Structure formats: structure tokens, C-alpha cells
Structure 1
Amino acid sequence: MPAPANGQTQAPSGTPDDSRTTAPAPEQHLPTHVLVKRLLRDHIRPYLWRLSVAVLFMAIVAAATAGNAWLMEPALDKVFIQQDLQYLYLVPVAVILLAVVKGFASYLQNTIMAEVGQRIIAETQVRMHAHLMRADLAWLHQIHTGKLISSFLYDAMLLRDAVSRALTGMVKDFLSLIFLAAVMFYQEWELSLVVCLVFPMVGLASGKLGRKTRKGAAKSQEETGRLSALLNENFDGARMVQAYGMEEAETARARQVVEDRLHHMTKVIRARSAASPATEALGGIAVGAAIFYGGLQAAEGDMTLGAFASFITALLLAYQPLKSLANLNTALQEGLSAAQRLFAVLDVEPVIRDAANAVPFAPRGGAIRLADVAFRYPDGTRALRGVTLEVPAGRRVALVGPSGAGKSTVLNLIPRFYDASTGQVLIDGQDVRGVTLASLRAGIALVSQEMTLFDTTVRANIAYGRPGASEAEIRAAAEAAAADDFITGLSDGYDTVVGENGVKLSGGQRQRIAIARAMLRDAPILLLDEATSALDTESERKVQHALKRLMQGRTTVTIAHRLSTVLDADIIYVMDQGRVVEQGDHAALLARGGLYARLYRTQFLEEAPDREMAADDPAAGPAPDGAAPNSASLDGASLDGALPAARPGLAG
């Protein structure tokens, strides 16, 4: 993307300074008909043909149910009263056939709907996962992992119930009502009109209870997310909880969240439970009226016993689907509440995405340039202020400075984890916003202090990013990262499962596997995000040796935490308050006497008493081979390797 002719850079479309934002969108309370329409479009339409077959079987079940009610008339009038032998054989056979047909149709209908419901859950979860894997990091960092997991599991389950149980159950019960009502009108249409007046009253009561259910379900699902987040924090931080004796405090916090969740769930239970008594009462009124009116008709000879029995049977059978409809409405409202939360996540479009005219990235050495780059996070925090720096192809550049200086932001702009608010980030002259994300990130390898490993084998962790790598390539990368020796010593060698985030390995071992992963990727650009900050001196020495191999022939940008990663850098950029304040190599920056020299001098003088004490202590042996006598963090650089010969340059 070329710069404007006036020499000024433009803010790209879709950056954090735009009107669009990566912050979580507020949950919109969409009307029920809108949510139902979207459910039908996004989740039900792909299975429409299977659902149509299920509806056909539902109609068969409903017709069989109505057929049983209709058979009551010939069973009483023809068999018991008139004692017609022909009907004595026909009616039982008809009852048996209806039972067989109804049972077979029920089985097929239930099987189809259960499979569709489970498939909807699976597709929704896969869709959410794919969406979140492409989401902006700034947005992901604002949502607790526990809440996302709650949506994956609990909300998806409620959505399944809304589709497979509520919506389709309503179809089945509604069809049953239609067929049974047909029998009732066939037997006595006047009485049927009176009875049917009850149906709208049931609908009104069900609607009111459904609204209460949906409101309570939304609150209880929020509390479920809070509970999931709290559990995630406590389980991950169990060591710290025990170290500080906070077991009781965390249990009390969990108890409060559980009680809040229980409070809202109780409201849902009460509203759901009220549906049955309301339907019971209204149904009782209908049955009582039918018996009274039917008795009068029978006494006057206008209705046979069989016709009355058939009518009452149809009415009593209709009572069950009517009650089910009231109960299913509450389940539907819970599902719609869950759907609203899921849609709120799925509707957040990533800002960091391919431009309409994006082209594949064509690396030509990996030279990086930031041109007058400014960056502001979505919450308004300004991280960079007109940063300009260059990383020549194949050279090694370090970023140092105090915490909050903007070092990590610079690193995150290169692979487009974020986009610059103004200015340009160019690699080999190509604006990173003008190339496809996949091709850009394929040319970059990242090794960070987080040492992310997955709960799978050592082999799979090394091959992450190159799944098709051969065994020889994986072993060669491990050997280059000084990891092969300890890997072969593991219980199952390269087939050893490392545990959650590599918990079965030491910090140094995890980091060397991460380096082997980057070596196997063989990308022209290497980003090191304080890759040795969490290691002890001996582990750091081994990892540094592996890193030097990894950096050979690659353009490397490293956030320096220890001075051992700074001393031999080709260029050191010193950052402070979002700006580059100094640049040069180690010797030149010391000689300049600026911020770098002041930080260096302060840290060096703080170490001096410790070094003198170590020198006077005869019990203190020599430092390990290749390790510095002392190590002190510079929060961006360290004093590992500080030598007295450098003292004259500190006077600056």
C-alpha cells in the first residue's frame, strides 16, 4: 500500500481509531420472532429435508392418537352394547395396528430429532470455534475464557433443546391437537366450540410464563458464565490459592456466585412449574363442562354412550399435548435466551481481516520497516506515538525499555495481531494490511515467554504449523534446538504426551520444544518475545545456544529481557512512553549516556555489592560455563554479562 503523495500516512480502514471496535458488542434483546427466524435460517434450514421426514412421522403419531379416540365409539356402541361380532374382531385388530404404527413412527421421529439436535450442537460449536480462532486478539482479551466455555457447552445445549425438543415438540403436539380436535368436532361440534374457548386462555398464560422464563434464563446463564470463569481461575491458580491460604476466601466467592445462579434458576423453575398447574386448572374446566353438557345430551337421547366416550377420550388425549405446549414454551424461551448469547458472539466481525484486494505475501529477505506508526487500543490507551524503525533483512534487532514503553505492541503489529492506527508497517516494501493474513503469518515464526504447548505428543507440538513434516525433519529441528537428548530420555520419547500447557516438562524443556517448532517452520522472520525471561541461568544458557542457531540467516526482532540477548544485537531500539528515544548497538548506546546507559548503570551498580560478596566468599564457586555471575532484570534488558571493562562508558 503506497504512502500518500503528501508524505503523510493514512489511518487504514478498520483500525482501532475507526468507529468500528473490537470490543464485545452489547447483547441485544432481539424480539422472539427475529430469533426464531434466525434459528430457522441458520440452524434448521440445512436439515430441512430430515425435519420434513420427522414432521411426517409426527403427523402419523398424531393421527394414530386421534384414531384411538375415534375407536372408542365402535368399541362401546358396536362391541359392548350391540355385541356385533364383526366389530369384536375389527376393533382390537385396529387398536393393535394403530399401536404398532404409532410406536414405529414415534421411534423414527425421536431418532431423527435427537440426531438433528446433536448435529446442531456440533455445528454450532465448530462454527463458534472457527469464529473465535479468527477473532481479534483485542476482543478475545476482553472476554474471560470461562464465559466462552460456558457458551460452548451450556448455551449450545439449551439451543439444542430449543430446536430438537421445543420447536419440534410443538409441531408434534400441535398436530396432535388438530387431529384430536377433528375427532371432537366430528362427534359433537357445539360442545367442541365451548371446549376450544379454553385454548386461547392456555396460550395467554403460557406466554406470560414464557417471558418470565426467558428473563430468568438469561440471568442464570450469565451467572453460569461467571461460575465457569471463577472455576477456571481457581483451578489454574490452585497453587497460588494454597500458597496464600485463600482457600476459604475462594470458596466463599464461589458460594456467592453459586447462590446468585441458584436464585435466578429458581425463578426459572417456578415459572416452568407454574405452566402445568395453570393448564391443569383450565383443562379441568373444559372436562367438567364437557361432562355436564354431554350428560344432558345423553339424557335427552341426542348422543350415544360411544360418541360421548369418544369425545371425552379425544378431549383427555388433547389435554396432554396442550399441557406439553405450555411446558415446551418455557424450554423454547430458555433456548432463545441461549441463542441470543451465541449470536452476540458470532455477530462480532473481526477488524483484522484480509482486505478486499489483498494479495499473497512475497518475502524477499524479511526487511521490516515501521513508518511513523501510532497505535491506540480500543479502550483509548495510547501505546505508540509516531514510531519509525527499520530491521534490515537477515539482521538482529532488539527492543528494550521500561514496562509499558510499547515494545510488545511493536512486535504485535508485525504479524497483524493488531493494526496500526496511523502509519505503515512494511515487510520487504509490502504493507502488511495489503497482503493476506495466512501468507503473512506463514512467513513469521514466534517464540514467546508464554511457551504455549498443547496437550498432545512432543512430536505433534514440534510439528505444529507444519503438520506434514517428516520424522527426520522433526528430529533435525529438535537436535538444532538442543532438545533431542532430553526428548529421547522421556518415557515415550517423541510420543510422550506433555500434559496441559506442557506441565510434565520443565521450563527450559518447554522453551526448547517451542524453539524446535520455530526451526521446523523455517520462516524468514523470527519474533522473540522475551523468550528466556522465565528461565534459570542454566536453562537460559542452553536455550540461548538454541536461539543463536535459530536466528542464523533470519530477520529477528526480539524483546530483550536479559542483557545476554542484547549485547550482540545489530541494532538496539530503546523505547519509552511509546516512542523510540535511542538506537544503536550496545557500545554506542553506552557511550551516548542516554536512557539505555542510565538503566544499565543503575542495574550494574545494584549488582556490584552482590558481586563483591560473591568474590569474597570462598564457598562461592565459579559461575556455570557460559553463564553470567549475576542476573538482574532491566525490564527490557538485563545485566547478564556486564563487565567491569564497560564501566568507563557508564559515566556518560
Structure 2
Amino acid sequence: MQYLLRLVKQARPYWKYLIAAALSMLAVTGLNLIGPNLISRLVEVVTNLDQYPDARRVILNLALILLISYAGRTLFAFLYRYLAHYAAWRLVADMRVIVYDKLQQLSLRYYHDKQTGQLMSRVTNDTATFEMLIAHAVPDLVTNVLILIGVAIVLFSKNAALAALTLIPVPFLAYAGFVFVKKIQPNFRYAQRALADFNADLQDNLSGIREIQIFNRQEYETTKLRQRSYAHADAILRALKLSGIFHPIVEFFSSLGTVIVVAMGGLMAMAGNLPVEDIVGFVLYLGMFYQPIGALGQVMENLQQALAGAERVFEVLDTEPDVKEKENAIELKDVKGEITFEDVTFYYRPDVYVLKDISFEIKPGQMVAFVGPTGVGKTTIMSLLARFYDPVSGCIKIDGIDIRDVTLRSLRDNISMVLQDVFLFNGTVAENIAYGTEDATMDDIINAAKIACAHDFIMAFPDGYDTYIGERGVNLSGGQKQRLAIARAVLRDTPILILDEATSSVDAETERQIQNAINNLANSRTILIIAHRLSTVKKADNIIVLDEGRIVEQGTHEELIKRGGLYSYLCSMQFNTEDTVKMA
């Protein structure tokens, strides 16, 4: 009920359609009750012709009324079904956007143990079950209840004793329905999880198709995906097996009501206590009475499947992000680019510290490099600065303002990042460069590309800046993708620029050109660099060397070489291996 009420609340923009659908549903229910009464009346006229001198006219009038009721039922059935489906699918569309927007708000920590395919399943498959709930399960449940009440009133008004006898199978049907719901619900929950697992593996495999082919793992991955697919099918089949048992049982107990009417009604008619037309009416109405009970299984099946999806959707919506804005968060404006870390400690897991008591200060316009062995926390520092995570203890400030006191939007509006693992969208070159800059002109895009040394290779494409690069830039080399990412950061023109091994996939000549571009940007913004090549590190205003989550030394290139510490050792390794060993 909790999930159902929340969904009804989410559907508030479409309540008018649902109300109109409900009124149409009432009209259909009312018109359905007319037919058996007219047929019963017809039997009465035909069996008592001597009492109806105008019998022909009465019969034709009954047929006309029946025709009008059927026509009206057709019209209202269309309105009911279309309006209910309109509201339901609009709700599905809204919920997909709501869930996606929520996923955008969640901190990166939430994604550490989540597969993309799992989350996609919640956005697409789980929300799709709401259509079944809004357009089928709930309306059918309400319709069936109304039919039960209406038919019961008619039956008891005709003959209370016979109507009471027809209720004998109802307790058995109710008990069967209770058992059915209890047994079927776990299967639908498992089916939703199994479908999500299938989507997760499918997404992983399509993203890693190159690795699957190069390592000849096609047969292994097919087998794994087959197991996922059959797991979902088996869960659905277990539910359908229960349905296959339940529905015949319902039909059997429903038919007992007809048996009771035939036996007891026939005896009453023989005794002169029940007119023949009432027996006919009883049989017709009895079919309507047990039909909703028989449909209970299907209604509960749809309801349980929808609620299984709702449970998974609201699990996402109820998740609280680790990184939250304060209620009175301020806008970060006129940023100069001063950055201060004060005794910052951070871990992803409480038993493994990534950073321990990190403190440093970067002046506006400085270029600062972070070096050290792999896994010492260099990228984590950049993630903390962008507030993808919050430190366990300590404070991070920009221009003397604690970044936890400012809005996330204004904080990230002042930071651009170029990562080693570049992500490009399936669009044109120009669209990818302009991503993050809403009012960029074509001249701005070209200028940024020139600064990033990307203009020449872009113009070598047949369509130039209108070239489609494919999903994740599949049509580009690693160096080309990184230069487009640098152009994107340059175009954004923020006071703080983060380069996380931004030249790792380019050749020496391109690296030299990019380094010149970075040097041109120096002093105009604060630049933080995670680098593994000396050409980038040597000209930094300050080099911070980390080891095991702590700052072990810092200074200029010349100062650190003279000290003969870790930095000097890393430099000697790179020189001795002709620039093939990474420093970070």
C-alpha cells in the first residue's frame, strides 16, 4: 500500500484522466448490469404471451435498449482503456526521468558496487511495470469490486435465500487467492532482479566486446548470459505455474455456484417459489458475479509484478546522497583560484585510508603537479576538490570559503577536468567540445581546438567539426580523444583546471604542443596536474609528492632533485627507461 499510495501521488498531474477513466469504468459496469435483466425480462414476456398483447413491441423495445447499452458500453470501454493507458504511460515517462535525475544527484560512492545495466533496468524495466499497475491492476480491481457489489444487490433483491446459497464457494476462492498471492510475490521479485542481472551483463559485454573477442571468451560469455536469461524465464514460469494451478481452481469453485442455482433454483421453480425468468437471470448474473472472483488471480499477478518493480524504483529514490548541499548554501562567485587543503583525511572503506592529514595551499594562477606511485591518492584529491566525495575529516577551501558551504552547481561551474579515461558522447566533434558551454559559438569551438592542438586532425575528417565520433569516441584514437577533452576544458574557461594524466595517450610531439597550450593558460587560472612525464612536471610552480596517502615532499623540480628523495628516484627511473615508466 505504501508503494501504491506513492505512485498515486506521483500520478497527480494525470488525476483528471484517471477520474474520467474511473467514471467511464463505472458506466461500463452499470451497462453490464442491464443485459441480464433485459434477457430475464424477455423470458418473462415470451413465457407469458397471454399477459402481453403488445408482446412484439415490448420485445423490440428490449432489443433496442440492449443495443443502446452495448453501444454505450463500447464507447465507455474505449474511453476507460485509453485514458487509463494515457495516464499510465505518461506516469512511466515521468518516473523514468525522475529516477534518472535522482541517479544524477547521487554521490559517486553509490556507484562503486553498482553495474550500469542494473541501474538501466531500474530506469526502464522496473518503471514500465507501473503501466500494468495504473492501467490494469488497480482499475480491474475496482471494476471487479463494483461488479461484485452490484450483482450481489441484484441477486439478493431477486431471491435472498438462493443468493445466500451461491456465496458458499466464496470463502474457498478467497483462501485460494490469499495463498496464490503469498506464493507468487517472491517469484516476481526474483524475476525483476534476474532481468536486471541480465541487463547488467549484457551492457558489460557490449561495452567490452573488443576484450571478449581478443581473449576468445565468446562461448563463456554466451553461457553466462544464457544462465541469466533462463533465470529470469524460470522465475516467470514458476509464477505462471502457480497461475496455471490457481485459475482452474477458481473456475471449478465458480462453477459450483452455477450448480447450486441449477439444483436449488430448479427445485424452487418446481415448488412455485421462483419464476423461470428469475432462474435465467440468476444464471446470467451469477456468471458476472464469479467472473471478477475468477479474474482476481490475474489482477493479483499484475499487482505483484508492478509492486516488485515499484520496490526497486523507490529503493533508488529513497537513497540519500553522501554529498549534500546545506540548506543555506551560498553561490561561489568571482573565484580567483586559491585552493587550501587543511588536515584532510579520507577513505573509501574505514579500514583503508587513502589520504592522511593532507595539507597544502595553492595560490591563484599557480600550476601545481601531484606525483607519486600508483594508488597514493592523487586522483582522490581532485575528486575531493570537485566534491564528488567529502573528506572524513579536515577542510577544503576555495578562496578561503569551505566548499561544503557553497552550492554544488556553483562549485563545479568553476572547475574543469580532463581525465585519463576520456568520456566522449555519441555526437559530433563540435558538440563534444561545446559540452558544458551552452553559449559557445563555432569560432569559440575552433579556437579551443587550436589551443588543444586538435584543429588539424579535426579538419582532416571529411565532415570536419560535424564528424560523428561514435559511442565513447570509438572512431578516434586515444590521443585524439584526449585532445578533444582538453579542448572541452579550455572552452569552458573556468578559473580552476584539473589535468589528470591528460597527456598519457599522446605522442611526444603532440605532448609538446599540448604542453605549450598549457603553458599559455598558466597564470590565467589555477592548474592542478597529475602527470607522469617530466615535460609537464618540470615547469610547475610547485610539485607535491605523495606516498602512502601522505605528502612526503614538495617544491620545484630543481629543489626536489637536489633533495634526492622519492621524486628524484622517480625521475631517475624515467630517465633510465627512456620515458616508458609512469611516475603516477
Q: Report the TM-score range of the alignment, normalised by the length of the smaller protein.
A: over 0.9
Relative to 1, partners in 2 of residues 1:274 and 1:162: Cα closer, same or farther, differing over 3 Å?
farther
- Indicate yes or no: 2:11 matched with 1:40: no
CA shift, 1:394, in A, is 0.4
User: Matches of residues 553-564 of structure 1 in structure 2 within 5 Å?
Assistant: 553-564=524-535
The count of corresponding residues between Structure 1 and Structure 2 is 580
Q: Are the aligned partners of 1:59 and 1:176 in contact in 2 as well (CA < 8 Å)?
A: no
Q: Which residue of 2 aligns with 1:58?
A: 25
- Indicate yes or no: 2:581 matched with 1:633: yes
Name the % identity. 35
CA shift, 1:418, in A, is 0.8
CA shift, 1:537, in A, is 3.6
Task: State the distance in 2 between where 1:205 and 1:93 align.
Answer: 41
CA shift, 1:472, in A, is 2.6
Q: Which residue of 2 aligns with 1:159?
A: 130
CA shift, 1:415, in A, is 1.1
CA shift, 1:538, in A, is 4.6
The CA deviation string for residues 144-181 of structure 1, in whole angstroms up to 9 with x for no partner, is 11100111121111222122211122112222222222
- Indicate yes or no: 2:68 matched with 1:68: no
Bigger shift: 267-276 or 515-524?
A: 267-276
Structure 2: gaps spanning 5 or more residues: none
CA shift, 1:545, in A, is 4.1
Q: For 2:481, which of 504, 510, 519 is the aligned residue?
A: 510
CA shift, 1:79, in A, is 4.1
Relative to 1, partners in 2 of residues 1:492 and 1:69: Cα closer, same or farther, differing over 3 Å?
farther
CA shift, 1:262, in A, is 2.8
- Indicate yes or no: 2:201 matched with 1:230: yes
Bigger shift: 300-309 or 92-101?
A: 300-309
Q: Are the aligned partners of 1:275 and 1:327 in contact in 2 as well (CA < 8 Å)?
A: no
Task: State the distance in 1 between where 2:506 and 2:71 align.
Answer: 71
Backbone CA RMSD of aligned residues: 1.8
Q: Are the aligned partners of 1:58 and 1:175 in contact in 2 as well (CA < 8 Å)?
A: no
Task: State the distance in 2 between where 1:106 and 1:74 align.
Answer: 25
Task: State the distance in 2 between where 1:475 and 1:283 align.
Answer: 76
- Indicate yes or no: 2:467 matched with 1:496: yes
The CA deviation string for residues 351-372 of structure 1, in whole angstroms up to 9 with x for no partner, is 2121122111124420111011
Q: Are the aligned partners of 1:375 and 1:421 in contact in 2 as well (CA < 8 Å)?
A: yes
Q: Which residue of 2 aligns with 1:87?
A: 58
Relative to 1, partners in 2 of residues 1:562 and 1:81: Cα closer, same or farther, differing over 3 Å?
farther
The residue matched to 2:359 in structure 1 has which SS? strand
Q: Which residue of 1 aligns with 2:308?
A: 337
Relative to 1, partners in 2 of residues 1:383 and 1:99: Cα closer, same or farther, differing over 3 Å?
same
Residue type of the alignment partner of 2:8: L
Residue type of the alignment partner of 1:339: A
Q: Which residue of 2 aligns with 1:395?
A: 366
Q: Which residue of 1 aligns with 2:162?
A: 191
Residue type of the alignment partner of 1:368: I
Bigger shift: 282-291 or 501-510?
A: 501-510
The residue matched to 1:377 in structure 2 has which SS? strand
Relative to 1, partners in 2 of residues 1:465 and 1:222: Cα closer, same or farther, differing over 3 Å?
same
The residue matched to 1:466 in structure 2 has which SS? coil
Q: Are the aligned partners of 2:534 and 2:571 in contact in 1 as well (CA < 8 Å)?
A: no
CA shift, 1:274, in A, is 2.8
The residue matched to 1:301 in structure 2 has which SS? coil
The residue matched to 1:384 in structure 2 has which SS? strand
The residue matched to 2:319 in structure 1 has which SS? coil
Q: Are the aligned partners of 2:109 and 2:322 in contact in 1 as well (CA < 8 Å)?
A: no
User: Matches of residues 241-640 of structure 1 in structure 2 within 5 Å?
Assistant: 241-378=212-349, 380-551=351-522, 553-605=524-576, 607=577, 630-636=578-584
Q: Are the aligned partners of 1:508 and 1:543 in contact in 2 as well (CA < 8 Å)?
A: no
Q: Which residue of 2 aligns with 1:201?
A: 172
The CA deviation string for residues 494-549 of structure 1, in whole angstroms up to 9 with x for no partner, is 33222111112222222222122112211000011111223344543444444444
Q: Are the aligned partners of 1:526 and 1:551 in contact in 2 as well (CA < 8 Å)?
A: no
The residue matched to 1:478 in structure 2 has which SS? helix
Q: Are the aligned partners of 2:385 and 2:396 in contact in 1 as well (CA < 8 Å)?
A: yes
Task: State the distance in 1 between where 2:151 and 2:226 align.
Answer: 50
Relative to 1, partners in 2 of residues 1:497 and 1:196: Cα closer, same or farther, differing over 3 Å?
farther
Relative to 1, partners in 2 of residues 1:562 and 1:211: Cα closer, same or farther, differing over 3 Å?
farther
- Indicate yes or no: 2:125 matched with 1:118: no
Residue type of the alignment partner of 1:179: G
Task: State the distance in 2 between where 1:448 and 1:354 align.
Answer: 25
The residue matched to 2:544 in structure 1 has which SS? strand
Q: Are the aligned partners of 1:373 and 1:425 in contact in 2 as well (CA < 8 Å)?
A: yes
Q: TM-score, normalised by structure 2?
A: 0.95
Relative to 1, partners in 2 of residues 1:100 and 1:438: Cα closer, same or farther, differing over 3 Å?
same
